[in-house]
Amino acid sequence: MTLKAISAPRLFDGNHYHHNCALVWQEDQIVSILPMSELPNEIEHQHFPNGIIAPGFIDIQVNGGGDVMFNNDITAQGMETICRAHRQHGTAYLLPTLISSTPQNIQAALNATEQAIAESVAGVLGVHLEGPWLNKDKKGAHDANLFYAPSSDQLEQFQWPTQGKVLVTAAVENIDSSALNWMKKHGIILSCGHSNAKAAQLTEEKLSLVDGFTHLFNAMSPFEGREPGVVGTALNTDHSWCSIITDGIHVHPQSFVLAHKAKPQGKLLIVTDAMATLGSKTNQFVLDGETIKVVDNKLVNSNGSLAGAHIGMDQSVANVIKWGIEEDEALRMASTYPAQAINCNDLGLLEPHFRAAATVLDDNYQTQAVVVDGYLYQ
């Protein structure tokens, strides 16, 4: 079987740096990291003379890309288009994200996930259901008319995928513990988001069932002196991860740095929350009958309210490095930590027996290539 390799002046395996080395893989599995001088002559090898090879970026919140909103094209083909658009920005894998929708569309998203993974659609790790189990007081761009608090019986009615990861963002203060327990028992990763909870509503029992918090600071009750809210609770819950949008628009850089200081290492990770405009030709799309446009590099609805982000993972990483985060930590926030957050134990590191997945960046942290399951995309 053919060995393949990519090399660059620097390679970061998720723990350590290697210089003038190559990542070697066979089929879809990493074999080794070798000095370039030790590469066999017959190996299929591509060298990138500038930049760095890092573990493949993983984005666990992607609403769209390439002129496709997942909500408007709830198919395996729609997922494929979104993945293709995001590979141009360094994302090897992602969770297509369904913004609050009907039970019929939720089922369609679960079916599309099953199909995409069965057909080995490059980059699809599963699906993220962002709602409709949210709090109307923190609805953001979601349609609050769709919101409800699911019971265990209602959750049981869905046909959940047998493969891939399922991440659910929910306002846990509104949902009975029995339904939260049902999700956990069925392997669903649970994140608190679009929540207006007071700290007292996020009980020890409910927090024990929460794996993470979705887009920290955005669409959640704020941290105040006499009321920690969801933000304060998220920062103070050490076992939980927090995803965060680092476009410099959704969250102030100082707030990001403060969150990074507050959370244990490994528990703050980057998401883009990107919409159909990333990699698009039109710079606008329709969601629930409303036109969303890019204005001054921001996505806004007709009221001028933020409606998702217009950024890729590579620029997100570049931003946090500019804000003072060490390069190795920034790269982990885009790869290692998301893999850990959704229990992908064969991703997030460049080590033997891990999946062959890598992101190649230039010296300005812009994408040169991406490896997904052993296939090199440029």
Q: Which two tokens stand for residue 102?
A: 């009907």
Cβ(95)–Cβ(61) below 8 Å:
yes
Q: How far apart are CA 1 and CA 49, in angstroms?
A: 27
Q: Which two tokens stand for residue 300?
A: 């806004």
Q: How far apart are CA 314 and CA 294, in angstroms?
A: 19
Q: How far apart are CA 78 and CA 210, in angstroms?
A: 29
Q: How far apart are CA 102 and CA 132, in angstroms?
A: 8
Q: Is 247 a catalytic residue?
A: no
Cβ(120)–Cβ(163) below 8 Å:
no
* Active-site residue, from 67, 273, 288, 362: 273
Q: How far apart are CA 234 and CA 207, in angstroms?
A: 9
Question: Residue 361: which H helix or E strand, with range?
Answer: strand 358-361
**Residue among 245, 192, 171, 195 nearest 215 (CA):** 245
Q: How far apart are CA 360 and CA 51, in angstroms?
A: 7
**Residue among 272, 261, 195 nearest 233 (CA):** 195
Q: Which two tokens stand for residue 191?
A: 């994140």
First-residue to last-residue Cα distance in the chain: 23
Q: How far apart are CA 337 and CA 300, in angstroms?
A: 29
SS3 222: coil
**Residue among 279, 146, 130, 101 nearest 194 (CA):** 130
**Residue among 332, 314, 318, 204 nearest 268 (CA):** 332
Q: How far apart are CA 333 and CA 11, in angstroms?
A: 16
Q: How far apart are CA 359 and CA 376, in angstroms?
A: 10
Chain mean position to CA 85 = 14
Q: Which residues are catalytic?
A: 273
